Amino acid sequence: MVDASHETAVVDGHRIHFLAAGDPANPPLVLLHGGIVDAAGVSWGAVIEPLARQCRVVAPDLLGYGRSAKPDVTYSLDTHVDVVAEFVETIGLDRPAVAGISMGGGAALGLALRSPERVDRLVLLDSYGLGTELANGEFTRLLSKQGATNRLAIALMRRSRGFTKASLGNIVHDTDRLSADAVDAVWAEAKRPGVGKAYRRFRAAEVGPEGYRTDFTERLDDLDVPTLLLHGEYDEVFPHRWSERAAARLPEGEFRLLEDCAHWAPRERPDTVVEQLETFL
């Protein structure tokens, strides 16, 4: 068993908390979590220690999430790319592999497109940034303009573990197959002060009249970084055709469809995610 340590870095004047595990002499792997109610240990908690057998795993709480600082900023995808880029430099990682899920996938891809020489390999899980279509159309657009619904959902999650588990039905294929640890991690995170602000601002910044504002698809043809795209077959947040299309455009892209899985592969299919990453890396 490899224990993850809690560490802190100061990035552009902001405190960034991160989990670190594995031999520092091993190849570095950065894990980036998603949005809504998330943090490094929430999405990646079941896979950090297995991956640390062969990698030096570093999993930050993105700015505005988990134990990291929650400043009054825009929280667009560009914000997260900026912070991740400086975080990697601040803690001295040399050309790490970078894996990201959902919003974190978009940040990982944005980093690789901006500075491909700084990324050894790229893994995108159910990634944002590969299309513009809103899952629920006008309803998603309306939600992006107000935060009351998100605040109410988080308030209910804080009060009820049962409601928290039921809410995860939006991102998992079968909530009954989730580990108790996965549900408890989200429930604990929902109780953290300031949770939700960064996601609400991200959504407001990234949803426009024509759909999602960030779509890297047209820039993929020249990204010469080996990239693995994993996507759940039942993902209703972002369709798996986004990842299939991206893999076809990437010079070194591979696509794998994950069966019996929706949007939260590291918690729904942790063993599969570990196997895929170990093989690819």
Tally of domains in the chain: 1
Query: What confidence score (pLDDT) does residue 148 get?
Result: 78
pLDDT higher than 80, residue 2: no
Mean of pLDDT values over 153-162 = 95
pLDDT averaged over the chain? 94
- pLDDT tens for 33-54 read 999 999 999 999 999 999 999 9
The span from the CA of 227 to the CA of 251, in Å, is 9
pLDDT per position as a tens digit, 194-238: 999 999 999 999 998 889 999 999 999 999 999 999 999 999 999
The pLDDT assigned to 1 comes to 44
Identify the domain containing residue 27 by its residue range. Answer: 5-280
Q: Which pLDDT score, from 0 to 100, does residue 146 have?
A: 57
How far, in Å, CA of 60 to CA of 66, rounded? 9
What are the two backbone dihedrals, phi and then psi, of residue 145, each rounded to the nearest 5 degrees?
Answer: -95, -5
The reported pLDDT for the residue numbered 139 is 54
Within 8 A by CB and 6+ apart from 225, the residues are 112, 116, 119, 120, 121, 122, 252
Global confidence as pTM = 0.96
Cα separation values, 235 from 88, 183, 193, 258, Å: 30, 19, 29, 10
What would the mean pLDDT of 2-13 be, rounded to a whole number? Answer: 90
CATH number at residue 57: 3.40.50.1820
Over the stretch 108-152, which tens digit does the pLDDT of each residue have?
999 999 999 999 999 999 999 999 998 766 656 565 565 678 889
